[in-house]
Amino acid sequence: MRDRRLFNLFAANSKRGSFRADAASNTIELYDLIVSSEIEAEWYGGVSLQGFAKAMRGMAGTVHVRINSPGGDVFAGVGIAQIMREYDGEIVAHVDGYAASAASVVAIAADKVVMAPASMMMIHKAWTWGIGNADDLMATAELLEKIDGQLAEGYAARGSKDAATFMNLMAAETWLTPQEAIDCGLADEMAGEKDKAATNARARWDVSAFERAPAPPAAQGDDKIRAAVEAALAERDRQDRDKAAAIVAAEQERGQRRRRAQLLARTA
């Protein structure tokens, strides 16, 4: 499915991500957009269904899929999820930043979902746009309803709430914290506090294409820079105040000396 907002998401995040598979450690890093084809991957960056399938063929035993993705093509996400479900072994999904939109579909296909403390999972109704007459647009709406129904059923199959509840959450474009994802059954546990990279991971992506996206987090490096600048400005302000106070004191001293001189001149 295609929508102008999806194109905006792709354009804003083109070439920002990375996709890596390491058979030695059985780890796949899906830190990228989810795109519909290898041609689209060449244009925007991102991982396609074909690319993910190729990576999975090199794996054996327990596989760790590390996810930081703003989402992308819903059918590619569904296909990747199916490849994961058919894998002959355990798959653990680690949400290191965002598992948004189609990336949430990928995450919940794992046998176990672990979310970093500052990570987020987002679910929403499918996007598209249509051209044609009333019949064409009604057919497009019916297709979207079917896709939304399938997504809601998928969340319900993994989660602890029914499909109707998940449909309402999708309609609200819901951004779930780790605890909220655990509470509705889409995640199993939260990673330890030692994992503090999620804020930096989320800061990589521009998610402004979504209607209810949270404010972009500041990366830890940006926090350090901001703190250093604020400290420098505070020190400059302190120095300026000290200089101003010294000038005032000097003027007061000069004024007192002038008044004393004037008084002596009158009494001489």
195: domain CATH number? 3.90.226.10
Other Cβ atoms within 10 Å of 213 Cβ, number: 18
**Are both 118 and 175 inside the same structural domain?**
yes
**The dihedral of CA 6, 7, 11, 15: what is its sign?**
positive
Same domain, 241 and 198: no
Q: Are residues 257 and 140 in the same domain?
A: no
In this structure, the answer to whether residues 181 and 255 fall within a common structural domain is no
202 by Cβ neighbours in 10 Å (0-12 / 13-18 / 19+) ranks as buried
pLDDT at 1: 43
Same domain, 31 and 137: yes
CB-CB contact of 99 with 178 (8 Å): no
**DSSP letter assigned to residue 119:** -
CB count within 10 Å of CB 51 equals: 20
Residue 3: the pLDDT is: 57
Instruction: Tell me the residue range of the domain where 180 lies.
Output: 4-217
* Domain co-membership, 206 together with 240: no
The per-residue pLDDT for 85 is 96
CA dihedral 135, 140, 143, 148 (to 10 degrees): -130
Question: What is the total count of domains within the chain?
Answer: 2
Claim to verify: residue 167 and residue 229 sit in the same structural domain: no
Pair 92, 123 in one domain: yes
Distance CA 222, CA 209 (A): 23
For the chain, 268 residues long, give each residue's pLDDT as a single digit of tens. Answer: 445 677 788 888 888 889 999 999 999 999 999 999 999 888 888 999 999 999 999 899 999 999 999 999 999 999 999 999 999 999 999 999 999 999 999 999 999 999 999 999 999 999 877 788 999 888 988 999 999 999 999 999 999 999 999 999 999 999 999 999 999 999 999 998 765 566 677 888 888 889 898 887 765 444 554 555 456 656 666 676 777 677 767 777 777 777 766 666 666 5
Residues 136 and 176 in one domain: yes
Residue 227 is predicted with a pLDDT of: 55
Domain co-membership, 183 together with 104: yes
Pair (88, 47) in one structural domain: yes
- The pLDDT, as a whole number, for residue 266 is 63
Same domain, 84 and 10: yes
The pLDDT of residue 231: 63
